[in-house]
């Protein structure tokens, strides 16, 4: 069984330790999950699925995690299923590609249910971000892999949902997380007209590990360019999450950009104010909205990607001129926008402090 030694056998872990499974094991997000889980006080990795590299050492795929991975090897789906069916409780993180995650999760949950075990799932792919198969299929142009599972998932950023009513969570994704953190307060407080214009810049890791022209360093270095302007597939996801979080039907005109850096996302959200408001009043409204959110910092100075890179923190700032508002948000795409947000959700799902394992600050000079 290709699992960490600490997870072998009954009673190998303290009673407050929850075994974790990571699916989609060789990608950037999976690597970030493994990094976060390696120092988490309550979750301990038990199995890491890679259909492409079963039996291969994790350290070969993630040399920077060699000290944490030891001799652990990737598991096959059969081995992961065996691990889950003999673990009474389990935290399942899915970083598999969209179009693959739904069937994989469905299969593992069905096996766990038959064995009487109770895993909780956070899916970081897009497969459970919509409430209906039709909405998913309209965006992704293929049938949903497990439509009967959709009611078991809620899609939201942790800061925007007080009580989770479903067994599992779908993470909104990196561009969506940054955009929602900037825009949901404006909509919820009734400050703006419900048409928002979003300009976002992402680092190259947002495109995944497999090299393509858009992420090839000689093409991306020292350059900046837009892509899929007003037609990006995350726009419908943003609108659905914003509606669920604020109760407002809003339209988002989204223009993403590729930036010449590896990690991070910076978005600027602009909208028309319903009534006059100055910058001070806007910042005060944002601070009050996020008063109970330990990972959100609202400041008068502009947010910078380097100040949040590698962390689960989000930095926001804003400006208003009486007629128009602009809210800026910087996050790390692999952490707050993916793996860190997933761990934050899983902390909540297991009644742990939501900050557990996530309070490391940015290195600053990446």
- Tens digit of pLDDT for each residue in 238-252? 999 999 999 999 999
175-333 is a CATH 1.10.600.10 domain? no
The predicted pLDDT at position 5 comes to 33
As a whole number, mean pLDDT of residues 89-104 equals: 96
Q: Which of 34, 265, 298, 283 is nearest to 159 (CA)?
A: 298
242 Cβ contact list (under 8 Å, min separation 6)? 180, 183, 184, 187, 248, 250, 252
Q: Does residue 52 have a pLDDT over 90?
A: no
The predicted pLDDT at position 365 comes to 86
Query: What tens digit of pLDDT does each residue of 297-340 get?
Result: 999 999 999 999 999 999 999 999 989 999 999 999 999 999 99
Query: What tens digit of pLDDT does each residue of 216-234 get?
Result: 777 888 999 999 999 999 9
The predicted pLDDT at position 176 comes to 98
As a whole number, mean pLDDT of residues 149-178 equals: 97
As a whole number, mean pLDDT of residues 264-282 equals: 97
Kindly report the number of other CB atoms within 10 A of residue 158's CB atom. Answer: 21
- Angle 174-188/234-246 helices, nearest 10 degrees? 40
Q: What is the CA radius of gyration of the chain?
A: 20
The predicted pLDDT at position 107 comes to 98
Q: Is 90 a known active-site residue?
A: no
pLDDT band at 181 (very low <50, low <70, confident <90, very high): very high
The predicted pLDDT at position 216 comes to 73
Q: Does residue 3 have a pLDDT over 80?
A: no
Q: Does residue 344 have a pLDDT over 50?
A: yes
As a whole number, mean pLDDT of residues 29-56 equals: 94
As a whole number, mean pLDDT of residues 269-282 equals: 97
Sorted by where each begins, the domain ranges of the chain are: 5-155, 175-333
185 Cβ contact list (under 8 Å, min separation 6)? 191, 285, 286, 289, 290, 327
What whole-number distance in Å separates Cα of residue 106 and Cα of residue 101?
8
pLDDT band at 15 (very low <50, low <70, confident <90, very high): low
| CB crowding 133-157: b at 16 or more within 10 Å, else e | bebbeebbeeebbbeebbebbbbbb
Q: Which of 154, 327, 312 is nearest to 240 (CA)?
A: 154
What whole-number distance in Å separates Cα of residue 214 and Cα of residue 227?
10
Q: Does residue 91 have a pLDDT over 80?
A: yes
Q: Model's pTM, two decimal places? A: 0.94
DSSP-assigned beta bridge partners for residue 197: 253, 270
Q: What's the burial of 115, exposed, middle or buried (CB within 10 Å: 0-12/13-18/19+)?
A: middle
In the set 90, 94, 174, 241, the catalytic residue is: 174
The predicted pLDDT at position 16 comes to 80
The predicted pLDDT at position 51 comes to 83
Q: Which of 113, 254, 135, 231 is nearest to 183 (CA)?
A: 254
Q: Does residue 131 have a pLDDT over 80?
A: yes
Q: Does residue 22 have a pLDDT over 50?
A: yes
Residue with tokens 């935290």: 91
5-155 is a CATH 3.90.1150.10 domain? no
pLDDT band at 79 (very low <50, low <70, confident <90, very high): very high
Q: Does residue 358 have a pLDDT over 70?
A: yes
% of residues, the chain, pLDDT over 70: 95
The predicted pLDDT at position 53 comes to 87
């Amino acid at each position: 069984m290709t699992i960490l030694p600490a997870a072998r056998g009954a009673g190998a872990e303290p009673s407050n330790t929850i075994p974790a499974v990571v699916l989609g094991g060789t990608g950037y997000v999976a690597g970030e999950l493994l990094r976060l889980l390696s120092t988490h006080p309550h979750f301990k990795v038990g199995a890491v699925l890679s259909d492409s590299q079963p039996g291969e050492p994790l350290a070969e795929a993630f040399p920077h995690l060699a000290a944490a991975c030891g001799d652990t090897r990737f598991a096959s789906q059969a081995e992961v299923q065996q691990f889950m069916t003999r673990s009474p409780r389990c935290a399942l993180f899915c970083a598999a590609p969209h179009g693959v995650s739904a069937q994989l999760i469905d299969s593992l949950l069905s096996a766990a249910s038959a064995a009487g075990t109770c895993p909780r799932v956070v899916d970081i792919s897009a497969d459970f971000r919509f409430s209906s198969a039709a909405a998913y299929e309209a965006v992704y142009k293929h049938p949903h892999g497990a439509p009967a599972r959709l009611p078991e998932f809620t899609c939201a950023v942790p800061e925007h949902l007080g009580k989770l009513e479903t067994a599992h969570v779908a993470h909104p994704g990196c561009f969506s997380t940054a955009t929602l953190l900037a825009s949901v307060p404006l909509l919820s407080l009734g400050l703006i007209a419900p048409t928002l214009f979003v300009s976002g810049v992402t680092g190259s890791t947002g495109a995944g590990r497999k090299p393509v022209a858009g992420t090839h360093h000689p093409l991306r270095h020292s350059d900046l360019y837009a892509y899929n302007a007003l037609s990006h597939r995350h726009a419908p996801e943003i609108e659905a999450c914003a509606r669920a979080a604020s109760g407002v039907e809003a339209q988002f005109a989204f223009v993403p950009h590729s930036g010449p850096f590896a990690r991070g996302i910076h978005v600027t959200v602009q909208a028309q104010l319903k009534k006059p408001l100055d910058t001070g009043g806007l910042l005060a409204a944002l601070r009050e909205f996020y008063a109970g959110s330990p990972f959100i910092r609202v400041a008068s100075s502009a947010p910078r990607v380097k100040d949040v890179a590698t962390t689960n923190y989000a930095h926001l700032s804003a400006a208003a001129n009486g007629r128009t508002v602009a809210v800026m948000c910087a996050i790390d795409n692999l952490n707050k926008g993916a793996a860190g947000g997933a761990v934050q959700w899983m902390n909540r799902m297991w009644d742990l402090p939501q900050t557990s394992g996530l309070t490391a600050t940015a290195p600053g000079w990446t």
